[in-house]
Structure formats: C-alpha cells, structure tokens
C-alpha cells in the first residue's frame, strides 16, 4: 500500500475536522496527521478511511472513530518515553497514534485472528509497539507497572488487575458502563487506596469481553 500526497491531503482535512470538534493537544493532532489510517482498513475506498467515522475491521470488531481515538489520546496525557498499555489492539491504529506521541506501547487483543493480522501490519509499517494475544482484564503483569493504561472497549467495571498494574501517579482511561453507551472515565492513581475518578461524557464502544477468542 502507498501513502500519497492525496492521502496526506485527506489526512490534513481530517485533522482540521477533529480540531474543530475540540481536540487541542498538538501531540495528538500531529500523530493523526502522521499515521496513514487507510492502511488499517480492508476497504479500497480510501475516502472512507479519512471520514470521521468508525469502520468494521473483521472478527466483528471496529476501528474507532478518529475523534474518539483523539479524545482518548488527549485524556491520557501521554509524554515522550511513558510506558503505555492499550487493551483492545483491534486494527492497531490507536497503538500507532500512541507510538507517534512518543509512548512505549504494549497492546493486548483477545481475538487471535485479529492479533495475527495486526502484528503483521504493524511490523510492515515499522511500528515498534509490542503486541500480545490475551485477556486484557488480566493486563500484562510481567511488564507492569505502566504509566498509563488505555482501554478501547466498553468495560462494565474498572478492571482491578489493571489498576494494580498502574504506577502511583499513573492514569487509566476507559469507556465505563455495561449498557449501550458508556461514560468516558479517567482514573488517577494517587496511591493504592486513593483513586480519583473523572468523567468526560458519553461514547459508544464494542464490549470488553472476558477470555481469549480464536
């Protein structure tokens, strides 16, 4: 696949659109401009990749809407060199955005088929994010603690193992709720028994499911 001037032009327009919807973080906007989103969709219609919409990526999953990716990335307050765990690799797009923002990215996916497909793609694109096949509810204890954790599927509860795998002063961003819509939530771990919870409005994600899938 190629990344042409036309794609770059479409991407600049997308960045303007996301900016007009309220995203201000320069690191986030630069990352959106850098990552060729059309590489992550099977569709041959590149325009679709640069509309501010979610899109099916196979295995019944979706690549999140660019605005949602930007919103979560902004809330995560990523700084260069931070160790970030993403739960729900999906297409890998969000992982690449975090990497462009300077994070050292670890990402877990429960769907084996999707995991294999995305691992190949990120490798071809020269991204260094470390991808794992597993159940995100359990996190990655062998690689903990993390500065930041981002969940990109709707979590019915705050997963306790993930809070345990956060550094003191670290943050967890997740769409929280068991219903059709979830509340975008940021948990700041001031210390082991002092968690601050902040809320940022309603979003709609595919559910975070238990256990691995083929």
Residues labelled catalytic: 64
The answer for residues whose C-beta is within 8 angstroms of residue 203's C-beta and 6 or more apart is: 68, 71, 175, 181, 182, 183, 184
**3-state secondary structure (DSSP) of residue 71:** helix
Q: Which of residues 74-103 bind ligand SAH (CB under 6 A)?
A: 87-88, 90-91, 93-94
- Please identify, using beta-carbon distances, which residue of 38 and 110 lies nearer to ligand SAH: 110
Q: Residue 175's beta-bridge partner residues?
A: 184
Q: Does 68 bind ligand SAH (CB under 6 A)?
A: no
- Interface pick for ligand SAH out of 101, 131, 146, 152 (rule CB under 6 A): 152
Q: Is 108 in the site for ligand SAH (CB under 6 A)?
A: yes
User: CB under 8 Å to 52, separation ≥6 — which residues?
Assistant: 14, 17, 18, 21, 65, 66, 67
By the rule CB under 6 A, 147 interacts with ligand SAH: no
User: How far is 36 from 148, CA to CA, in rounded Å?
Assistant: 24
Q: How far apart are CA 24 and CA 89, in angstroms?
A: 24
In angstroms, what is the minimal distance from the CB of 185 to ligand SAH? 16
Nearer to ligand SAH, 30 or 193 (CB): 30
When the beta carbons of 141 and 169 are compared against ligand SAH, the nearer one is 141
For residues 134 and 108, is the Cβ–Cβ distance under 8 A?
yes
Q: Which residues of the chain form contacts with ligand SAH (CB under 6 A)?
A: 61-64, 87-88, 90-91, 93-94, 108-111, 114, 135-137, 152-153, 206, 208-209
């Amino acid at each position: 696949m190629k990344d042409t001037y036309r794609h770059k032009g479409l991407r600049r327009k997308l960045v303007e659109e996301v900016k007009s919807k309220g995203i201000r973080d320069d690191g986030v906007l630069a990352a959106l401009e850098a990552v060729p989103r059309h590489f992550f969709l099977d569709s041959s219609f590149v325009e679709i990749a640069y509309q501010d919409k979610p899109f099916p990526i196979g295995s019944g999953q979706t690549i999140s809407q660019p605005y949602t990716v930007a919103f979560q990335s902004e809330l995560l307050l990523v700084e260069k060199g931070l160790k970030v765990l993403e739960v729900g690799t999906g297409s890998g797009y969000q992982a690449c955005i975090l990497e462009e923002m300077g994070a050292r990215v670890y990402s877990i996916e429960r769907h084996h088929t999707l995991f294999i497909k995305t691992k190949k793609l990120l490798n071809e694109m020269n991204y260094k994010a470390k991808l794992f096949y597993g159940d995100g509810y359990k996190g990655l204890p062998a690689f903990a603690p993390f500065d930041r954790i981002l969940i990109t599927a709707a979590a019915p509860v705050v997963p306790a193992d993930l809070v345990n795998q956060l550094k003191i002063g670290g943050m967890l961003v997740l769409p929280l709720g068991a219903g059709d819509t979830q509340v975008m939530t940021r948990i700041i771990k001031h210390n082991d028994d002092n968690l601050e919870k902040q809320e940022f409005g309603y979003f709609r994600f595919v559910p975070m499911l238990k256990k691995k899938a083929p």
